[in-house]
Amino acid sequence: MPEVLNRIKIAKSFGSASHSYDVSSRLQRYTGKKLMSFLPNRTDLTVVDLGSGTGFFTDILASKYQQTIGLDISTKMLSFAQEKRSKQIHWLEADAYHLPFQDNSIDVIYSNLVIQWCDPLDILVKEILRALKPGGLFIFSTLLDGTLHELKSSWAQVDDDKHVIDFKTAEQLTAILDNSSSRLLEHSKVDLVLEYENVIHLARELKGLGANHIPKQKGKGLAGKDKWQKMTESYQDFQEPSDIYPATYCVYSGLLVKLND
């Protein structure tokens, strides 16, 4: 199935970034720390870090809760995390669409900047709700439409290929999350602008995060030199007086509760 093949490609993309991820993760650090305010105070809980990556925040969760599980689709990410993080964490390699948990068995699922890569999202949310106990929490951050609009606009001046994924709007997210099975208790939206020395710096950071896989891209690999040059020239329209190149990330953070069956 196309969705499964796409998830395999994403796993490889993020796996190749396992040793550079923590260096390139300014955005992930900010959003992950913000999610900490949503965490419950009780310690006798089973918590899953969905898309645990290098395990940076899994380690923090393990210091707070009785049982912490780091789950990721990337073998390389899990190997890196297992070597670097707390030995109290239980690591699982699994697809988020097929969580290896019984129905109504997990207290909290934490997910930092992961679900924007998941399509179809409504099926993923159903699987998350299946695993959560009634009253269980899904604590997450994701990216909204408008993210990397500078890069998207600059590429649009060059060709009609897809160089940046299409992120969902807040309205689309709410329609999926707030329904008869779950309620969105809290959410926030913020536009974060990160600064880069040049467009290559931005591209390297995206690659270092494993975020350079575009599911519907026509071409393969990096664009040709001529196209890249044209894109960087277009990006200069966004260049700040200090010669810094900005990139906008529209971040959505949420606290979702599973309603009683």
On average, the pLDDT of the chain sits at 87
pLDDT value of residue 13: 44
Identity at 249, one-letter amino acid code = Y
What pLDDT score was predicted for residue 204? 83
Residues 6+ positions from 19 with CB-CB distance below 8 Å: 80
Q: Which residue has the higher pLDDT, 209 or 10?
A: 209
**Rounded distance, CA 48 to CA 99, Å?**
10
According to DSSP, residue 113 is labeled: S
Residue among 182, 154, 18, 150 nearest 84 (CA): 18
In whole angstroms, what is the distance from residue 164 CA to residue 178 CA?
A: 27
pLDDT score at 223: 58
Which tens digit of pLDDT belongs to each residue from 198-211? 999 898 888 755 55
β-partners of residue 172 are: none
pLDDT tens track for 140-163: 999 999 999 999 999 999 998 888
Q: Are the beta carbons of 100 and 106 closer than 8 angstroms?
A: no
Listing DSSP states for 33-47 in one string gives: HHHGGGS-S-SS-EE
pLDDT at 189 over 50: yes
pLDDT for the residue 3: 54
94 Cβ neighbours under 8 A, 6+ residues apart: 71, 72, 73, 100
What contacts 185, CB < 8 A, 6 or more positions away? 255, 256, 257
Q: How many angstroms separate the first and last alpha carbons of the chain? A: 31
**pLDDT per residue over 213-246, tens digit each?**
555 555 544 457 899 999 999 999 999 999 999 9
Domain boundaries, the chain: 2-146+166-191+250-258
Distance, CA of 93 to CA of 100 (rounded, Å): 9
Average confidence (pLDDT) over 40-67 = 96
Q: Quick one: 2-146+166-191+250-258 is in which CATH superfamily?
A: Vaccinia Virus protein VP39 (3.40.50.150)
Return the pLDDT at 261. Answer: 67
The enclosing H or E element of 208 equals helix 199-208
Neighbours of 92 (CB within 10 A): 14
What 3-state DSSP class applies to 173? helix
Q: What's the pLDDT score for residue 229?
A: 93
Cα 123 to Cα 161: distance, rounded to the nearest angstrom: 27
pTM: 0.86
Parallel, antiparallel or unpaired: strands 132-143 and 245-258: antiparallel
